[in-house]
Structure 1
Amino acid sequence: MKIAAGIDLGTQSLKVVLYDYEEKRIAAQASCPLELISKEDGTREQKTEWYDAALKNAFEKLPAELRSRIEAVGVSGQQHGFVPLDKDGKSLYNVKLWNDTSTAEECRTLTEQAGGDAEVIREAGNLMLPGFTAPKILWLKNHFPEVWKKLHYILLPHDYVNYVLTGNYVMEAGDASGTALFNPAKRAWSQKLCSLIDEHLYDLLAPLIASDEQAGTVSEKAARLLGIPEGIPVSSGGGDNMMGAIGTGTVSDGFLTMSMGTSGTLYGYSDKPIADPEHGLSGFCSSMGGWLPLLCTMNCTVATEQIRSLFGLSVADFDRLAAAAEPGAQGVRVLPFFNGERTPNLPKGRASITGLTMTNSSRQNICRAAMESAVFALKGGLDAFKKLGFEPKEIRLIGGGAKSPLWRQIVADIMNVPVSVPVSEEAAALGAAVQALWCLEGGTPDRIKSLCAEHIRLNKEKSAQPGSAVCEYERAYRDYNELLGQLSPLYTHG
């Protein structure tokens, strides 16, 4: 048995899969939940100590005999989080996460200093949004100047795990392109954007390695901590969306991956830089060469979980009620901005339920409208892809939403694109394992595509085709966008 390990550091948990690449199956997997610090000002934070403990806990749950057979490790991590360390590798402050919206003021400051949105887009391929890393760095400097003076390492969550495993301080283009300090077209740090925060920031940023390079090898300390072999390669890794693209086989033009978890994402592979930041389509690099244009919303299963909790329903009961409602929920609409929102850029956004009348006010309609709202928000990304000439052949659905037959059909109908579901539910962790295998082989750019063809399988029983509800959803989507346009001014300035 030959094993590549994939680690996925998410918002809600840290997961590890041990992938037997000879038998093409997951031999074992384990996870450990993570806490979240939430505040009314939009703060969303975690602690590096939680990551350390979760990493150790997850590996300890795996059979020692299998751990001893690991030949390479790959790491996936939630994007955009800011991990500040001192010169000894100790955390200086909490990790500010992708869904932290407390940095809206820093975004305004950086955008003005850069010369406006157009200049930021020219340098970063994106707008300066609260979800990205750059405003978080300025926030730390503004709020904790004494801590700032001790800052030595600037890491993203997946890079932090690489650092724990290897002791090396490096980054790769995929995750780095989500910092708003990086030029995706040039695949290089932007000295101009860095200088807006601090004249020394550029020198603090990690050296960049190629996607197929090693971040390093497992250190003696990490080997003892996790019970894995010392000296085995650790691949470059990447953001969870970049690893999810590998783990779903979204490695060529025409295929899109849609992830429905806490956040919602829609992304596709491109051989050339593609971006439409003004319509929410970020210009990221992939973690296998090439580019990964992506739309992200901060509120996806958040909406259904909040409403499910409000009604005191189990997941099964929630789905049953939603299935009893008609497509379009008889005009009931949900704006799902429980966390504020990144796409559209409404960091002060609030959730709402509208369209209720004496005849349509039911739990069934509200439940279905919550599910539909998450997909409506992501459909804007599909529209942006099409405007740029990207013709979608198939959506590969992952995340919690992929487990629901109803949600799979809603996605197929609203997007009007066939939907398939990978066999493995842990796409990001599996993608990290496949990238680790690529690194182990010393492969070429074409080899990662053939590895995906060999190791990524789809569950034909969970596919969904667009059906009779397509026309109804076209009307409902127009209603949703009209409502969004009417309410957005309420959340833009306060």
Structure 2
Amino acid sequence: MTTETPTNPTLVAGVDSSTQSCKVVVREADTGRLVRQGTAKHPEGTEVPPEAWWEALVAAIEAAGGLDDVAAISVAGQQHGLVALDSDGAVVRDALLWNDTRSARAAHDLIDEVGAAEYARRTGSVPVASFTATKLRWLRDAEPENAARVAAVALPHDWLTWRLLGYGTRASSALGPDLEALVTDRSDASGTSYWSPADEAYDLDLFERALGRAGREAGGADRGDASGAAPTGESPESVTSTADGRVVLPRVLQAEEAAGTTVAHGPVPAGLVVGAGAGDNAGAALGLDATVGDLVISIGTSGTAFAVTDAPVTDGDGTVAGFADAAGGFLPLVATLNAARVLASIGTLLGVDHDEFARLALAAQPGSGGLSLVPYFEGERTPDLPDATATLSGLTLASTTRENLARAAIEGMLSALADGAAAVRDQGVEVRRALLIGGAALNPAVQAVAAQVFDVPVVVPSPGEYVADGAARQAAWALSGTRPRWGLSTSASFDPEPQPAISARYREAQALGSLSRP
């Protein structure tokens, strides 16, 4: 009689390189079981040296126990950030992050030149200060010497994928500065304002309008490689060809495609399959295994309301960004700049921790006794008001209590996201349930108020790193060729209990705030 020797499960790693930190999860490819994880902080600010992301990724990999037993890895990252590289693979200037609003004027200039409806038709969205194209226009106008040095433009997750594969400057990498090896995915490309989700192609006219220089997609015939496949194992002498003067844009991969395989360098072993990567919201949708009918409400530093659809969405008003997702579909999305940090700010003002903040909010009645907070503390992306400030209204001797202020902060934050959800649904998007994720989603007061603000069932998935989990699913997909179905564990669910008083007070406060703006 013989017995079979059990085999070790195949492991995959997923990375969430967010504004605040880098998180790495290692999961079983077949089941999705979490094996281990690690994290490292990112520097604060709206412009950051990309090398800090790489250092944090290395630290998070080490904190997660390394990659020696891992078969594949993929990176999901903060969207829209501008990483400009010169012909030697060096960063031209610190990366401008999505929440850097200095390009607000540039966004308006581009819209004036092209037209909002035309932008929406060609790219699925209308530029705002967050989007990469506006940052390129700002670079062209404010730093022309730096703009002239740009040989390639990448997004944060593109640059990290490139570094994982072994590329970079000659001093920092195993393979050298091969810009033709840059890749991205359709979800992140769709947030640039120069790539079309409907056509699955760069709009090079819009890119040139932004930077003032012509661009082209990396790989393929321009590189002498008919397949366009990302190379591996080449010598450091393999350097990008920039003789034609056009700026290199990363080759756009589909969800199941691999960017290549790693060579040994630093904490990265040789032979790991590297997935296409994703924008953070698309990564979260994949991590949740979201499908048509799901509306995801993500409450992090920023807030997002996005749905999964099987057809592209075009909103000529620019409220809804018609992004692509990381699974071959589409991800109409509305983003707000002010989300969980609204609660943190008011909690600090009240001098309470998260638990006491929730207790205070739950002790108040819906409508917060007439108190209403429009939470545009740091300007706002949706609506597009980069110079706006917050508005607190309804203050009376009776309404001005700690309890009402705590609840008003939650109602205001969720009302802003509910406006976003309504805009998505106005595009004809089907919504059957809302999935509430992000750190603030674990707050019991946020959960209770969400059921009163949204008119569909609210489901709270079990705590998890859903962006990193989505990247891990993508890594498993690139490894096997089949989309993993790991299932979704939930910690709470609520039937809708709409409270019209909340939205009515919020509308009144919005109107007051608009009167005070120039």
TM-score under structure 1 length normalisation: 0.90
* Structure 2 Cα separation of the partners of residues 434 and 235 of structure 1: 9
Matches within 5 A, 1:328-367: 328-367=367-406
Q: Deviations over 1:121-150 (max 9, x none)?
A: 222221121011111111112222111121
Give the 5 Å matches for 1:155-166: 155-166=154-165
100 and 490 in structure 1: CA distance in 2 versus 1, 3 angstrom threshold: farther
Aligned to 1:399: 438
Q: Deviations 1:263-311 (Å, cap 9, x if unpaired)?
A: 1111111111123352621100111111111111111112111111222
- Is the aligned partner of 1:106 residue 2:137? no
In the alignment, is the contact (CA less than 8 A) between 1:276 and 1:384 conserved in 2? no
Asked if 1:97 is matched to 2:105, the reply is: no
Alignment-derived partner of residue 457 in structure 1: 488
**Are the aligned partners of 2:333 and 2:424 in contact in 1 as well (CA < 8 Å)?**
no
Equivalent in the alignment of 1:249: 289
Q: What's the counterpart of residue 49 of structure 2?
A: 47
For 1:294-333, list aligned pairs within 5 A: 294-333=333-372
Distance 1:465 1:79, change over 3 A: same
Instruction: Classify the secondary structure of the residue corresponding to 1:149.
Output: helix
Q: 1:89, 1:481 → 2: CA distance?
A: 49
The corresponding residue for 1:41 is none
CA distance in structure 1 between the aligned counterparts of 2:391 and 2:439, rounded to whole angstroms: 22
Aligned to 2:130: 131
Matched, 1:9 2:31: no
Contact 2:125–2:318 (CA under 8 A) maintained in structure 1: no
- Which residue number corresponds to residue 514 of structure 2? 488
- The answer to whether the aligner puts 1:180 opposite 2:193 as a matched pair is yes
Task: Report if aligned partners of 1:279, 1:380 keep a CA contact under 8 Å in 2.
Answer: no
**Where does residue 40 of structure 1 map in the other structure?**
none
Contact kept in structure 1, 2:190 and 2:323, CA below 8 Å? yes
* Structure 1: stretches of 5+ with no match in the other structure: 38-43
Partners of 2:316 and 2:12 lie apart in 1 by 36
Unaligned runs of 5+ in 2: 1-8, 168-180, 217-245
SS in 1 for 2:23: strand
Instruction: After TM superposition, list the pairs within 5 Å mapping 1:414-429 onto structure 2.
Output: 414-429=453-468
Moved more, 403-412 or 370-379: 403-412
- Give the letter aligned to residue 135 of structure 1: T
**8 Å contact 1:99–1:339 — kept in the other structure?**
no
Aligned to 2:44: 36
Paired residue for 1:169, among 165, 182, 186? 182
Cα deviation code 1:328-365 (max 9, x no counterpart): 11111111112211000000011222111110001111
Paired residue secondary structure (1:344): coil
Distance 1:388 1:344 in 2: 16
Distance in 1, matches of 2:434 and 2:262, equals 36
Q: Flag the 1:485–1:277 CA change in 2: closer, same or farther, 3 A.
A: farther
Checking the alignment, whether the CA contact within 8 Å between 1:72 and 1:234 is kept in structure 2 is: yes
Q: Deviations over 1:467-494 (max 9, x none)?
A: 3xx2x3x232133124323423644x5x
Q: Which residue of 2 aligns with 1:382?
A: 421
Contact 1:346 / 1:488 at 8 angstroms: preserved in 2? no
Q: Contact 2:121–2:316 (CA<8 Å) still a contact in 1?
A: no
Is the CA contact 1:124–1:184 (under 8 Å) kept in the aligned structure 2? Answer: yes
Counterpart of 1:20 in structure 2 is: 28
Contact 2:323 2:332 in 1 (8 A): yes
Cα deviation, 1:78-129, whole Å, max 9, x if unaligned, reads 1111111222222211111111111111112111221x22222222221121
Find 1:476's aligned residue among 493, 497, 502.
Answer: 502
Letter of the 2:72 partner, please give it: A
* Structure 2 letter corresponding to 1:75: V
What amino acid is aligned across from residue 489 of structure 2 in structure 1? Answer: L
How far apart, CA to CA, are the structure 2 residues paired with 1:237 and 1:489?
43
Inter-partner Cα distance in structure 2 for 1:19 and 1:322: 37
Query: Contact (CA 8 Å) 2:39, 2:64: kept in 1 or not?
Result: no
**Residue matched to 1:233:** 273
Instruction: Please give the alpha-carbon distance, in whole angstroms, between the structure 2 residues aligned to 1:434 and 1:220.
Output: 23
Residue 151 of structure 1 aligns with an amino acid whose one-letter code is: V
CA 1:437 to 1:102, structure 2 compared with 1: closer, same or farther past 3 Å?
Answer: same
Deviates more, 1:68-77 or 1:80-89: 80-89
Structure 1 ranges of 4+ moved more than 4 A = none
* Amino acid in the other structure paired with 2:495: Q
> Structure 1's 88 and 456: CA in aligned 2 closer, same or farther, altered over 3 A?
farther
Which structure would you say has the larger Rg?
Answer: 2
Q: Deviations over 1:385-430 (max 9, x none)?
A: 3323333211111101221122112112210211222235100000
**Whole-angstrom CA distance in 2 between matches of 1:94 and 1:303:** 27
Asked whether the 8 Å contact 1:123–1:193 carries over to 2, the reply is no
Q: Return the alpha-carbon distance in structure 2 between the equivalents of residues 200 and 109 of structure 1.
A: 19
| Cα-to-partner distance string for 1:218-249 (whole Å, 9 max, x where unaligned) | 2322xxx22x4312111111100001001111
Paired letter, 2:282? M
Pick which of 6-15 and 401-410 moved more. Answer: 401-410
- % of aligned pairs identical? 35
Question: 1:62: which partner in 2?
Answer: 64
Alignment length, in residue pairs?
A: 465
- The more displaced of 129-138 and 163-172 is 163-172
Tell me if the contact between 2:367 and 2:505 (Cα under 8 Å) persists in the aligned partners.
Answer: no
- In 2: Cα distance, 1:201 partner to 1:363 partner: 55
Alignment partners' CA distance in 1, 2:206 and 2:318 = 22
Report the CA distance between 1:378 and its aligned residue: 1.1
State the Cα deviation string for residues 185-204 of structure 1 (Å, max 9, x = none). 11111123112121324542
Q: Distance in 1 between matches of 2:204 and 2:269?
A: 39
